[in-house]
Chain A
Amino acid sequence: MFLAEANPLNASELIFPTLECIHIAGFAILVGTIAIVDFRLLGVGMRQQTSAELARDLGPWTLFGLVLMLFSGPLMFSSDPDMYYLNRSFQIKMALLLVAIIFNYTIHRRVALKGASPPKSKLVACVSMLLWVGVIFGGIFIAFI
């Protein structure tokens, strides 16, 4: 059994909020760089560049954001694993997150780099943004249900 009191993260009241701030800055970079590509697929924003150029330019930053998330997220989880594990919103968030990451590095990546018909590109962009917005809603609702 895990005891939240035994986790050194819980020894200081500043650690958890610091992790939260890293988490927020991290998803601004992770989701923000993906969104620039998504908006391009929708035909708005950086139209002077191709979606492939944007995806290649921003790919390392997307990965950087993902690393920040996968660093701060599990640490926050460890502060109170029982609460998170049983939290319905957390469960939905994790399911959406898994789908969003797989989608980003498979279908989304292929469409951004190789191109697709406009309807398909737009559908992929919408699915991508909805998945990430869903992850964020899931994260916020953890604290409210």
Chain B
Amino acid sequence: MSLLSFCQWLQSTDFFTAIRGSWYVYPIVMSTHLAGIALFGGMIVVTDLRLLGITMRKRPVADVIRQLRPLKWIGLAIIATCGILMFGSKAEEYYFNTFFRTKLVILTLLGVHALVFRNRVYRRAAEFDTTGRIPGQAKLAASLSLLLWTGMVIAGRGIGYIEPPIGIHAAIPGPYRSMAPPVRYSGAPAPAADGGGSATS
């Protein structure tokens, strides 16, 4: 079974067909994804900025890292679950989406980042507090983390801007709505009056 046919099978399951068929489930899942980023993403930023010596300088590095770790894992679980739900409901469209592929590559790099720096930096934070000096390696880890997570945001937002290949939805049961928002820039044709189904307003 190829990856593409797996994606086609996945989105045709009853569960993901139901998600796709409801007008409100997909936006609720997306909102929860973004709410997770809001409540827990700031913890990544704060940890990285602490390692860079920019914020919370009066608090021990080890305190910041150790105390935020469990919450960050909870956040990741919420965000990833919502991400999988969004992917599954439109798996074929995501499969072709360049920004989604980019996001998966960045996610893999974040995994490599964790493998490389966990023991070298994050589990040695107490040493930094004892010596009062944050080594260059820790600052490198923090900078890369900020860079990669910024990339995740950009790639994530980019997903919604790519039109799916024409005709890939023919086999999908139930209503289907592209993730791509109405085009706004003046170089393009004017959006349709009912673009995005605003008939309720």
Contacts and interface: CB of A to CB of B under 8 A. Distances in A.
B27 A144 contact: yes
Contact of A10 (B28, B35, B186, B201): B186
Contacts of B131: none
Interface of B is mostly: helix
B193 to A, nearest CB: 11
Interface of A: 4-5, 10-13, 15-17, 20-21, 24-25, 27-33, 35-36, 39, 44-49, 53, 57-58, 61, 65, 79-80, 86-88, 129, 132-133, 136-137, 139-141, 143-145
Contact of B196 (A12, A133, A143): A143
B161 interface: yes
A13 B27 CA distance: 24
Interface string B161-201: 10000000000000000000101111110000000111011
B143 interface: no
Interface string B7-48: 000000000000000011011101100110111111101100
Interface size on B, as a range, is 35 or more
Interface of B: 23-24, 26-28, 30-31, 34-35, 37-43, 45-46, 49, 55-56, 58-59, 63-64, 67-68, 71, 150, 153-154, 156-158, 161, 181, 183-188, 196-198, 200-201
17 contacts: A4-B186, A10-B186, A28-B38, A28-B153, A30-B42, A32-B45, A35-B43, A46-B64, A57-B56, A80-B184, A132-B35, A133-B38, A136-B34, A137-B31, A140-B30, A144-B23, A144-B27
